[in-house]
A = this chain, B = another copy of it.
Amino acid sequence: MKKANKKLHSAIIIIGNEILSGRTQDINVVSISNWLNGLGVKLQEVRVIPDIEKVIVKTVNEVRKKFKYVFTTGGIGPTHDDITSKSISKAFNVEYCYHAEAYKILENYYEEGKFNIGRRKMAKTPKNAGLIYNPSSAAPGFFIKNVFCLPGVPSILKSMLGGLNNKIVGGNKILSKTLSLRTVESEISVSLEKVQKKYKNLEIGSYPFFQQEKIGVSLVMRSNKPKLIEACTKDILKFIIKKKIKIITRK
């Protein structure tokens, strides 16, 4: 069981000069990660890379061997900088060609005479790829083996995740519990480290925050075992109460 769970790790590859240049704030990682938590799949790495074919090929080939699932975002539109589909074809060493079903979906979607060369490009995938349907704007994503290619536009990406649920074999939902405390990290670091050492299959994160001119620390426990979170919370509360630290929220 432990071994199987260990394998439920995934990565995201963000393909996009616009993220690297600082022009665009990525918000897709948060969407994908929260969706994966519900499926019991852990996001273990993210890479942001430029729209350069050889970089995409190398990165995809490196990452897809390391993780059970890989998600790419961006680069599946109609313009010159949309090279994800072609690059993924190269990474898998398969033909980059029209996908009959994708072609049909797009042909039906556009008015007659409007299915131009740019739009036709969006019907091209690696040969024999599966489609990821797009309820927002027709143009589908695609998957080949363990690599799932999604668009970069956040609202469209989000609308497509649900359709992927049955393609991801996950595990127990990853749960988290947060205790927000009126303290500073250095006051609790020693006690907290002792608790973390006791719970090897649970992650405790410690995050300082500033809110309405007051400082505090959020302790976040994450695990797919609710009982572990419960036991760990008790151990943390023990030293919190002893130190007379105020609990601001727990959720």
Contacts and interface: CB of A to CB of B under 8 A. Distances in A.
Contacts of A207: 18, 24
A22 B46 contact: no
Contacts of A190: 117-118
A19 B205 CA distance: 11
Contacts of A196: 80-81
Interface residues of A, number: 62
Interface stretch (A90-98, A181-189, A231-239): A181-189
Contact of A185 (B14, B34, B79, B186): B79
A40 interface: no
A153 interface: yes
B186 A78 contact: yes
A17 interface: yes
Interface of A: 14, 17-27, 29-34, 36-37, 42-51, 77-81, 116-119, 121, 153, 155, 174, 176, 185-190, 192-193, 196, 203-208, 210, 220, 222
Given A18-B207, A77-B208, 20 more contacts: A18-B220, A19-B46, A21-B33, A21-B37, A21-B176, A21-B222, A22-B31, A22-B37, A22-B43, A23-B205, A26-B26, A29-B48, A45-B50, A46-B48, A80-B189, A80-B206, A117-B190, A118-B189, A118-B190, A119-B186
